[in-house]
């Protein structure tokens, strides 16, 4: 039997999929607003009074979407950390003592770590945490770009609305 996996792509819609884990179904995080903001970042270089409000709106939408996704990812991290603690507890309390007597070795931190790395539930929970932290880092970076771009836009508007740079303001 061959298993064929078909992956669909929609150019207009960008998604980040968090696979299912335990009883948690897969989560799809829509990144459309973030992608739209990223595609318009180059426009920030030539911002003017006419384009400022639209650009700021687009970047703020991407920022809000990113923050919303960060909270979802943070919750998923806490669930995965709970699953990691449960898997570790089950392995150490139920199976570890039998493992030590069967292998005729003494307990140590290195043996305990090696034993835990052989436990499927533990490894899967750790992999889940690592994946979610990578997603968190990705989204956090995008949020920082939007924050810095909006800050830049505001400064450019201050300069433009004043008709140029006020040199007395910067000289002491």
pLDDT category of residue 164 using cuts at 50, 70 and 90: low
Q: Report pLDDT for 154.
A: 92
Q: Average pLDDT over the chain, rounded to whole? A: 87
Q: Report pLDDT for 3.
A: 46
Q: How far apart are CA 34 and CA 11, in angstroms?
A: 14
State yes or no: pLDDT of 1 exceeds 50.
Answer: no
Q: What is the pTM of this model?
A: 0.79
pLDDT digits (tens, 9 = 90+) for 65-120: 999 999 999 999 999 999 999 999 999 999 998 888 898 889 889 999 999 999 99
State yes or no: pLDDT of 35 exceeds 90.
Answer: yes
Q: What token pair was written down for 9?
A: 């792509």
State yes or no: pLDDT of 41 exceeds 50.
Answer: yes
Contact in structure between 17 and 28 (CB atoms under 8 Å)? yes
């Amino acid at each position: 039997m061959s298993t064929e996996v078909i992956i669909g792509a929609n150019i207009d819609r960008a998604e980040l999929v968090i696979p299912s884990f335990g009883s948690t179904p897969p989560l799809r995080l829509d990144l459309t607003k973030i992608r739209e903001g990223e595609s318009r970042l180059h426009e920030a270089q030539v911002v003017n009074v006419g384009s400022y409000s639209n650009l700021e709106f687009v970047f703020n939408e991407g920022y809000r979407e990113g923050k919303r996704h960060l909270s979802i990812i943070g919750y998923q991290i806490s669930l995965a950390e709970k699953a990691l603690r449960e898997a570790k507890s089950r392995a150490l309390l139920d199976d570890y003592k039998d493992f030590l007597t069967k292998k005729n070795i003494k307990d140590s931190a290195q043996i305990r770590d090696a034993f835990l790395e052989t436990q499927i539930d533990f490894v899967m929970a750790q992999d889940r945490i690592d994946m979610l932290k990578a997603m968190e880092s990705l989204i956090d970076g995008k949020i920082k770009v939007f924050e810095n771009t909006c800050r830049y836009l505001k400064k450019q508007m201050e300069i433009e609305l004043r008709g140029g740079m006020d040199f007395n303001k910067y000289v002491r």
